Amino acid sequence: MDDSSGNSQFLEVERKQDKTYLVLEGDWTVRNAAPIEQDIERVKQDLGDQQFEVVGDHIAKLDTSGALLLKKLLPKETLPPRLTDKQRSLLKFLPSFSEYAPPKEQGQAPLVAFFSDIGKKTYAARHFLWEIFVFIGRISVCFAGNFLRPRAFRLPSVVRHIDEAGFRALPIIGLLAVLISMVITYQGATQLKKFGADIYTIDLTVISLLREMGVLVTAIMVAGRSGSAFAAELGVMKVREEVNALRTMGLDPIELLVLPRVIGLVIALPLLTFLADLIGLAGGSIMSLSLLHISFHQYLLRVQDVATPTMFFVGMIKAPVFAFVIAVIGCYQGLNVSGSAEDIGKTTTLSVVQAIFVVIMSDALFSVVFSKAGI
């Protein structure tokens, strides 16, 4: 007795004499791939663990997509009967459906995975440091070689980067300097009033601004603004094969693209730091007048007593070092883009994070050195 159930446009289940047959029909092509896959999943759920034979007599058309789905359906590595020679050759050509599935990763013990992750990150950090040292060496060799031919410094490009990284950043740097100095003055005045030491609020503002906060806030802002710009610009040039085109024309990308940015930022950041110090002291005078009722003349006299040349140069010495770090990391990450828009975004973000981290680490080392030297 024949019985049929679970019919569809592409699959038909037939039961004859205690045997189950799965009859295939229609066009098994890429256009019908989605409904065919749905029918396969539905039929597998209906049949469960039942044994069945696949009959491919009525397949009208078969392409690679349909053949792959047919591989998924076959219970064994045998071909369905009564296929045309062309359909059989196509089915034999494709690997089994299980080979397309991604291999399952073998799980590691939590302790092993923890130390393995530490090892990978340590190796990546060591590799990054080595690559940075090599990159700095290439920049140094290029810089030294240009002294023999000064025109190779490309002065117009250097001036452009000084303008973009320096003067165009002055509004936001000035605003941050004013806000930082106002916050320091306000917090210091609030606490020192309790002890009747209001006048030392100016000392606190001047020392913290000139030694630390002025250059540090400026460097962090420049890292987010110019460091990311360097990485993005060079990353796009790398993706567009412009860097390789320069090498093909016999031009050195370090000399043409990296060195002007490094020199421009090394010049621009100390200027920005100096202006940030002046603007920050002006912001501190405004808060001192409003909170402590200290006139501008008294404030200026106190600043002259507190701000020594040593204190000023302690902050200014850090600026070119921070600028060099920011420019090197931004250019390095930009030239190491692999070739996709997603990678440009990742390297741009990474350049900002690494630059800010190294700037803060450098500032901590400066503090230790100055403390040991008694400065």
Q: Tell me, what's the pLDDT at 317?
A: 92
Task: Give every residue of the chain whose pLDDT is below 50, as ranges.
Answer: 1-6
- Using CA atoms, how far residue 129 sits from 23, 63, 69, 140, 224, in Å, is 63, 52, 49, 16, 21
Fold (CATH) for 2-100: Transcription Regulator spoIIAA (3.30.750)
Q: Tell me, what's the pLDDT at 82?
A: 63
Q: Tell me, what's the pLDDT at 7?
A: 54
Ranges in the chain annotated CATH 3.30.750.24: 2-100
Rounded Cα distance between 294 and 303, Å, is: 12
Rounded Cα distance between 269 and 148, Å, is: 27
Contact between 330 and 348 under an 8 Å Cβ cutoff? The reply is no
Contact between 11 and 22 under an 8 Å Cβ cutoff? The reply is yes
Hey, how many other C-beta atoms are within 10 angstroms of the C-beta on 56? 23
The H or E element that residue 17 is part of is none
Q: Where are the alpha helices (DSSP H) in the chain?
A: 33-47, 64-73, 85-93, 110-145, 155-165, 170-192, 200-208, 214-222, 228-239, 242-248, 253, 259-291, 296-306, 309-335, 341-372
HSE (side-chain half, CA atoms, 13 Å) at 86: 6
Dihedral over alpha carbons 257, 260, 265, 271 (to 10 degrees): -160
Give, as one character, the DSSP assignment of residue 14: E
Q: Which of 54, 62, 57, 55 is nearest to 27 (CA)?
A: 62
Rounded Cα distance between 322 and 270, Å, is: 9
pTM over 0.75: no
Rounded Cα distance between 32 and 43, Å, is: 16
Q: Which of 129, 132, 139 is nearest to 258 (CA)?
A: 139
Residue 205 is encoded by which pair of tokens? 């503002």
User: In whole angstroms, how large is the CA radius of gyration of the chain?
Assistant: 35
Contact between 29 and 87 under an 8 Å Cβ cutoff? The reply is no
Q: Which of 239, 254, 222 is nearest to 341 (CA)?
A: 239
Backbone angles phi, psi at 114, to 5 degrees: -65, -50
Q: In which region does residue 39 sit, left (phi positive, over 0), alpha (psi from -120 to 50) or beta (all else)?
A: alpha
